[in-house]
A and B are shown apart, each in its own frame.
Chain A
Amino acid sequence: MTSRAISRRTVLKGLGGVTIGLPFLEEMLVTRALGAGKAAEQAAVPVRAFNVFFGLGIPSPLQKEGFDGVLEPLKPLGDKLLIMRGVDHVRCDEKGINAHYDGASAAFTAEPPQGEAKAGGPSIDQMIRHAHYPDGLPRGMVPTLVAGTYFRRSRLSRYIHSFNPDGTVAATMQEKPRAVFERVFGTVAAESDSTDVRRQRLRRSVLDTVLDQYKFYTGPHSPLGATSKARVNEHLERIREFEQRAFAVKGLVDSAPAAPVESKLLHGGAADPGGEGIDITLEALTAEWRLLAELYALAIQTDRTRFGSITFLAAGERIRLKGKYEYDGRKVFDFDDAGQRKKSGSNACSHEWWHDFNEKKKNEQLRAHAHMKMREIAYFLSLLDGKDAVDANGKTILDNALLTISTESGDGRHNDIKRELSGVFHAISGAGGRFKTGQIADVNAEGLDVYNTMLAAMDVPGRLGPEKRKMAAVDAIRA
């Protein structure tokens, strides 16, 4: 890999000329110090939950092959994960579904979507967030971090996977490594001239006034209804975060690490030219993803965020991948989607391999793509399991936090016309001993029940889905 991993240590050591707000740096130092001394015993491990999404899915027959097949890259982390087979998003598996869209929306919510930019309900990370931090996260922390490397736009739930209780997106997607860096570690400009103390004081007064106004519109005398209040409350939370960053900075560290260079890949609308797909090399794709994953992991390691989602390729992703793919010192495949499909535009994109899936055939290209995705997911997970990721209790973040890995359907199996979203790949981490790990389990349960069982184990009182629905606890996943 060409990118150099960014670790908590390298951040603290510093690489060059960019600024990080000192309070954050202090937090990082404290966090690290806690890992070694008596304070560690006293420090509580925070509740954290993250959704990890990858596009296009893994056909159920391939899941059955366990670590001998496309899941091989997860094997080194196998002891820390519970891989669940037979998870069916029955409620979302309705007439008229579009697996790429509805399936992606079902991931982490178990609900069908409610519009192009709205999920059918909250995602599990946000359920946990609201239950454990009803008054908000510690000041200055990024409440929800949403990031990803992907090249398919249109409907938002293709690539965003954290949703508020009302189904709206929980945070803005950060799709460039530099954007993640700035969102997590960057200082914000409260004013154009920070050296003028008087001006700074007056600006602070203005911000206090603004803050008061937002408080009023979220308070008991607000003329707004509950839906709008929630929106204004989001605004209020962002102001508080801004306030913390803009005015609580005590100084700047000259030797802080350099911000990532500007990405050279396509982003925004240009990354999805009319659904026709883009050409991209494996090296460019994984280099950008790994940098983004490292920054995301760093945000967790330094306790800058505790909830959110990260996406590696969107639902219904349309890329024409090219490059030699190697794993564990051996060549796995030569990606050349356009050449191998002998077509152009969207018809030459990798998602066509999923349409072509046939259990009785080799499915060489699909296998290679799925294997590569697992390698990259494993890369992210491993960042939360190294020496930089040790929590106060001596265990790693991957041990302590809830990491939920899932995907859309689009599994290419299509063997039951009434059950498109059946057998959607899922894996979870142990979440501090709450769930079994080291297993590949055939849970054969509805996604809603699996998620609600997870919420119960995470001490979340609320449940997903219809109120009257009788929950069927999936005890098989609990430790």
Chain B
Amino acid sequence: MRYVRTTCFATALLGLAVGLLSSLSTIAADDKPQRVRDGLIVLYDFAENNAATVRDRSGVGEPLDLTIQDGGRVRQSKGTLSVESPTLIASSGPARKVVEAIKKSNAITIEAWITPANVTQSGPARIVSLSASAVQRNFTLGQDKELYDVRLRSTGGDNNGLPSTSSPRKSLGPRRTHVAFTRDPSGAATIYIDGKSVAKKKVPGDFGNWDGKHRLTLGNEVTGERPWLGTYHLVAVYDRALTESEVRRNFSAGASSGSTDKAADAVAAKNAVFEAKIAPLFARHCLECHDSALAKGGLDLSRKDAALAGGESGKAFEAGKADGVLWDAIEADDMPKDRAPLSSDEKAALRGWLEAGAVWPLDRIDPANYVHAGHAGDVWVQRLTVTEYVETVRSTVGVDIAKEAGELLPPDLRADGFSNTAYNLGVDLKHIEAYGRLAEIIVGRMDASKFAGRFSKQRSLDADKLADLVAAMGKWLLRGPLDDEEINVYRGVASTVIGAGGDYDEAVRYIVEAMLQSPRFVYRVEDQRGDGSPRRANPYELASRMSYIVWGAPPDEALFRAAERGELADREKLAAQVKRMLDDPRTIERSRQFISEWLNLGRLDNLRPDAKRFPKWDARLAADMREETLAFFTEIVWKQKRPLGDLLDAQVTFATPQLAAHYGLKPAGDGLARYDLSKVPARGGILTHGSVLTVGGDDASMVSRGLFVLHELMRGTINAPPPCVNTTPPPTKAGLTHRGIAESRVANVNCGVCHVRFEPLAYGLEKFDGVGAYHERDDHGNELRDDGEVLFPGDAKPIKYKSSAELMKLLADSQRVRESLTWKVTQFALGRPLAAADAASVADIHKTAEQNGGTYASLITAIVMSDLVQKKRTEKTE
């Protein structure tokens, strides 16, 4: 549908632009830093003139605009609003998004650029307030003569926000001032004036007692009895405590809302156009022939320097005009040669880019970054996969539901290589039926009384006590605090039970049954509202992200407590949590899920080689092959803690006697036994496992095996064969091996362009037949070879190898291969295909992981610590 496509692209472009703007924050023309956006909930910059409404320009969620009660009492000009006589500036309804966000985070920052009119007003006079009356508030930033006073409701104080936190006497004057109040989840509160900390205090408890009905006001109490006079330049509220350096940064950014430098904007926009439109276009249409390896006509469009230098016909293009060899060939449909021409939209984009100056911000275009361009901008809520659901139930209520869940829930299908790909985790009627039935079974196996006792010792049906129970139990089951409405809804279940003559235990059972089917249990719900740019995940969201990435399970109590205390905002404490989590056995199981999915080991269940060609094949061998790969992975990754690259050439494997015999090894032991392969040069590493070798089918297709290596180990891209090609290979015969057939394809002028990139990768595997057995000669008596060459994507020249063992060593040592493993693990961790906008973060992850040994543990740690996990993507609210 057209609006969807437009929105997706616009969002992608915006995302890129915002990302670039973010990275450009230090290069604004006047070196003025950009304001902090992470955690922003509302922002008022008073840019309106003669307007009755003050716009919320946070771009986060539904705008919380404020209405000026009496426009005649204020004056507006150039980003300021002066309150010259008492009036009220207030939201028309409850400031729901502010309350919800801050209750969940248990942290807050209230920030204002103001000029008080005098030093005599008091009450305190309401500068910014979220309150209902003079004695009922969630917070107030006020003026009490010559000091700032902040009242903040918490369970450690009263409903009026007392005791308050105040700045020192005479810290307030009738001058333009930057004032900020922060309070972190541990209760530590600070007042900053002009970037300097001036007061500290403890505000204990949490915000569970906040009132969701309060309105946000400026310049007065909502009842009109605490007026404040003065000038507003900027007001912002965050759902986290800004750090001291962040407060200083906002102070340094000045009183404007931080609209960026126009020149920087323009550069960022041009960069974004290249990344969003031009690089994918080159990757899709041009690099097949004009990359570093082929560089037809001497033109390499994959690298900036080479592209700007041009080819045998001179410069390929002129910045500033649609002219030159490149444009002429494309416009005339002469290029791409023997391929479909560019669409009119693509041509228009190319023309626009050339005419706008042909800005080329990337050193190298990696086509693999653009394979999933269609997903850019989509932010999918993640449903728990079947395995995640089972583990979540086990972790939260201690019931093993694996058998029933496996029977009742439809299986999750693979998409883009993994079955946890969010966009493909849809639901059907069977899911609904299964979730209901499973909830019933789970609750039936629970000791409801004991479970409820974890959260409340008072077995009371009193409404308030039930609300407390629901809040505490729900917070655990649903992986974060509940708001008042949610508490009421679940408490309503108890009311129904009581009305039907039920008792406390029965009420608990039905509440749990409802929670187990709720969206917050079945899905990993996050606040996705925003302006399309990344925002920091709140502590509970982050805790869930971490636990599902590392364990495929919900946060445990320790992680949950860390989230509650706000400790996950501290990178040292965060790293300590990850380290602790990696020691949990569930981490190993999760990593085995990764390799099972990555190598599609489930495929082995359906392997049925032609019985005539492979009369000794036994279906149990397929199961043994899967076990071999899993045991090998566990050995290398967890027991030996070796770098992931070693999966390619570690000289060890695990086999049953039957599999060992199949491989030509002398069987040892009864079950799965360890085999030292240091003296078996042909085997060693996952590519020599039957589980992987069978991807070539009965004919041990070099095309299939080569593509597997290219796609799964090198992040290589290749186009499907062009039309008019018979892709059925000729049969082998005496004097003609698979290698010979492959070499003829590589030598073919039409086929070789692509086949040279992947078939030689499989040359080293020719001695393994379709079911992974090793042979020196084929059925016709032809001698088989295992020498070949590797062309790593992006490289200009291939590297020769003399044997299968050398190929494995090359792959294991390859930076490209190790990067590809990082991409695969990251994709599985995030549950979505990675796109160009992720490339820089993934590069950082890889670098960090490599610096820490290149192990699976170091990689998972780097992923969790990265922006891809710490920050969440948002969708622009319409």
Given the complex of chains A and B, what is the CA–CA distance between A169 and B488 in angstroms? 35
Q: Check A114 against B440 for contact (C-beta < 8 Å).
A: no
Residue B429 lies at the interface, judged by CB distance under 8 Å to chain A: yes
Q: Check B720 against A97 for contact (C-beta < 8 Å).
A: yes
- Neighbouring A residues of B608 by C-beta, 8 Å: 273-274, 276
Given the complex of chains A and B, what is the CA–CA distance between A122 and B429 in angstroms? 21
Instruction: Please report whether the interface of chain A is mostly helix, strand, loop or mixed according to DSSP.
Output: loop
Q: Check B1 against A462 for contact (C-beta < 8 Å).
A: yes
Check A115/B372 contact, CB under 8 A, given A274-B603, A414-B724, A418-B339. yes
Q: Check B528 against A269 for contact (C-beta < 8 Å).
A: no
Given the complex of chains A and B, what is the CA–CA distance between A198 and B492 in angstroms? 16
Residue B468 lies at the interface, judged by CB distance under 8 Å to chain A: no
Check A352/B528 contact, CB under 8 A, given A206-B513, A227-B875, A273-B606. no
Q: Check B723 against A416 for contact (C-beta < 8 Å).
A: yes
Q: Check B381 against A467 for contact (C-beta < 8 Å).
A: no
- Neighbouring B residues of A96 by C-beta, 8 Å: 284, 719-720
- Neighbouring B residues of A166 by C-beta, 8 Å: 4, 378
Residue B410 lies at the interface, judged by CB distance under 8 Å to chain A: yes
- Neighbouring B residues of A117 by C-beta, 8 Å: 413-416, 421, 423-424
Q: Check A462 against B2 for contact (C-beta < 8 Å).
A: yes
Given the complex of chains A and B, what is the CA–CA distance between A323 and B654 in angstroms? 45
Provide the A154-194 mask, 1 if CB < 8 A to any CB of B, else 0: 00100000000111110110000000000100001111100
Residue B776 lies at the interface, judged by CB distance under 8 Å to chain A: no
Select which of B374, B519, B523, B606 is within 8 A of A114 by beta carbon.
B374
Given the complex of chains A and B, what is the CA–CA distance between A182 and B372 in angstroms? 36
Interface 9-mer from A216-224, A299-307, A382-390: A216-224
Q: Check A98 against B720 for contact (C-beta < 8 Å).
A: yes
CB distance from B706 to the nearest CB of A (A): 15
Interface centre among A190, A224, A419, A467 (most CB of B within 10 A): A224
Q: Check B519 against A217 for contact (C-beta < 8 Å).
A: yes
- Neighbouring B residues of A203 by C-beta, 8 Å: 436, 440
Q: Check B610 against A115 for contact (C-beta < 8 Å).
A: no
Interface centre among A116, A209, A212 (most CB of B within 10 A): A209
| Interface pairs (25), CB distance under 8 Å | A95-B284, A114-B374, A115-B833, A121-B4, A156-B415, A192-B437, A202-B496, A202-B502, A205-B493, A207-B517, A217-B519, A223-B100, A224-B529, A225-B874, A226-B878, A227-B379, A239-B432, A241-B429, A273-B606, A276-B698, A343-B731, A345-B699, A417-B338, A420-B723, A468-B345
Given the complex of chains A and B, what is the CA–CA distance between A203 and B513 in angstroms? 9
- Neighbouring B residues of A234 by C-beta, 8 Å: 426-427
Provide the B418-460 mask, 1 if CB < 8 A to any CB of A, else 0: 0001011011111111001101100000000000000000000
- Neighbouring B residues of A214 by C-beta, 8 Å: 519
Q: Check A95 against B285 for contact (C-beta < 8 Å).
A: yes
List the 5 closest A-B pairs by CB distance, nearest first. Answer: A225-B875, A96-B719, A114-B374, A117-B415, A228-B381
Q: Check A274 against B606 for contact (C-beta < 8 Å).
A: yes
- Neighbouring A residues of B429 by C-beta, 8 Å: 183, 188, 238, 241-242, 245
- Neighbouring B residues of A118 by C-beta, 8 Å: 374-375, 415, 423-424
CB distance from A399 to the nearest CB of B (A): 28
Residue A213 lies at the interface, judged by CB distance under 8 Å to chain B: yes
Residue A254 lies at the interface, judged by CB distance under 8 Å to chain B: no
Q: Check B698 against A172 for contact (C-beta < 8 Å).
A: no
Q: Check A224 against B697 for contact (C-beta < 8 Å).
A: no
Chain A contact residue count (CB 8 A cutoff): 92
Given the complex of chains A and B, what is the CA–CA distance between A222 and B535 in angstroms? 17
Select which of B375, B492, B529, B695 is within 8 A of A225 by beta carbon.
B529
Residue of B nearest to A275 (CB): B697
Check A270/B339 contact, CB under 8 A, given A115-B375, A225-B875, A466-B2. no
Contacts A216-B485, A231-B426, A344-B610 known; 10 new A-B pairs at CB < 8 A = A117-B421, A118-B423, A189-B433, A207-B517, A220-B62, A223-B529, A239-B432, A344-B612, A355-B727, A467-B2
Q: Check B381 against A231 for contact (C-beta < 8 Å).
A: yes
Check A269/B602 contact, CB under 8 A, given A115-B416, A121-B4, A156-B413. yes
Provide the B338-358 mask, 1 if CB < 8 A to any CB of A, else 0: 111101010000000000000
Given the complex of chains A and B, what is the CA–CA distance between A468 and B349 in angstroms? 13
- Neighbouring B residues of A344 by C-beta, 8 Å: 610, 612-613, 698
Provide the A441-479 mask, 1 if CB < 8 A to any CB of B, else 0: 000000000000000000000111111110000000000
- Neighbouring A residues of B440 by C-beta, 8 Å: 191-192, 203
Q: Check A165 against B4 for contact (C-beta < 8 Å).
A: yes
Provide the A231-245 mask, 1 if CB < 8 A to any CB of B, else 0: 110110011011001
Given the complex of chains A and B, what is the CA–CA distance between A202 and B498 in angstroms? 10
CB distance from B629 to the nearest CB of A (A): 16
Given the complex of chains A and B, what is the CA–CA distance between A352 and B730 in angstroms? 13
Check A168/B726 contact, CB under 8 A, given A118-B415, A188-B433. no
- Neighbouring A residues of B529 by C-beta, 8 Å: 223-225
- Neighbouring B residues of A212 by C-beta, 8 Å: 489
- Neighbouring A residues of B5 by C-beta, 8 Å: 121, 466-467
Q: Check A464 against B1 for contact (C-beta < 8 Å).
A: yes
Given the complex of chains A and B, what is the CA–CA distance between A311 and B489 in angstroms? 43
Q: Check B379 against A225 for contact (C-beta < 8 Å).
A: yes
Residue of A nearest to B519 (CB): A217
A residues near B, CB below 8 A?
Answer: 91, 93-99, 114-118, 120-122, 127, 156, 165-169, 171-172, 183, 188-192, 198, 201-203, 205-207, 209-210, 212-214, 216-217, 220-221, 223-228, 231-232, 234-235, 238-239, 241-242, 245, 269-270, 272-276, 343-347, 352, 355-356, 414-420, 462-469
- Neighbouring B residues of A120 by C-beta, 8 Å: 374
Residue of B nearest to A114 (CB): B374
Residue B380 lies at the interface, judged by CB distance under 8 Å to chain A: yes
Q: Check B519 against A418 for contact (C-beta < 8 Å).
A: no
B residues near A, CB below 8 A?
Answer: 1-6, 61-62, 96, 100, 284-285, 288, 336, 338-341, 343, 345, 372, 374-375, 378-381, 383, 410, 413-417, 421, 423-424, 426-433, 436-437, 439-440, 485-486, 489-490, 492-493, 496-497, 500, 502, 510, 513-514, 517-520, 522-523, 525-529, 602-603, 605-610, 612-613, 694-695, 697-699, 719-720, 722-724, 726-728, 731, 833, 874-875, 877-878
Select which of A346, A418, A465 is within 8 A of B341 by beta carbon.
A418
Given the complex of chains A and B, what is the CA–CA distance between A185 and B603 in angstroms? 33
- Neighbouring B residues of A420 by C-beta, 8 Å: 723
Q: Check B428 against A238 for contact (C-beta < 8 Å).
A: yes
Given the complex of chains A and B, what is the CA–CA distance between A220 and B63 in angstroms? 12
Q: Check B436 against A190 for contact (C-beta < 8 Å).
A: yes
Given the complex of chains A and B, what is the CA–CA distance between A55 and B611 in angstroms? 27
- Neighbouring A residues of B723 by C-beta, 8 Å: 99, 414, 416-420
Q: Check A232 against B697 for contact (C-beta < 8 Å).
A: no
Select which of A114, A417, A469 is within 8 A of B724 by beta carbon.
A417
Q: Check A116 against B528 for contact (C-beta < 8 Å).
A: no
- Neighbouring A residues of B4 by C-beta, 8 Å: 121, 165-166
- Neighbouring B residues of A235 by C-beta, 8 Å: 427, 431-432, 519, 522
- Neighbouring B residues of A198 by C-beta, 8 Å: 500
CB distance from A247 to the nearest CB of B (A): 11
Given the complex of chains A and B, what is the CA–CA distance between A68 and B285 in angstroms? 42
Check A93/B340 contact, CB under 8 A, given A127-B1, A190-B436, A210-B518. yes
Given the complex of chains A and B, what is the CA–CA distance between A55 and B726 in angstroms? 18
Given the complex of chains A and B, what is the CA–CA distance between A234 and B381 in angstroms? 12
Q: Check B500 against A202 for contact (C-beta < 8 Å).
A: yes
Given the complex of chains A and B, what is the CA–CA distance between A99 and B73 in angstroms? 69
CB distance from A363 to the nearest CB of B (A): 14
- Neighbouring A residues of B877 by C-beta, 8 Å: 225
- Neighbouring A residues of B697 by C-beta, 8 Å: 274-276, 345-346
Q: Check B510 against A205 for contact (C-beta < 8 Å).
A: yes
Select which of B430, B525, B722 is within 8 A of A223 by beta carbon.
B525
Residue of A nearest to B495 (CB): A205
- Neighbouring B residues of A183 by C-beta, 8 Å: 429
Check A114/B525 contact, CB under 8 A, given A213-B518, A216-B485. no
- Neighbouring B residues of A463 by C-beta, 8 Å: 1-2
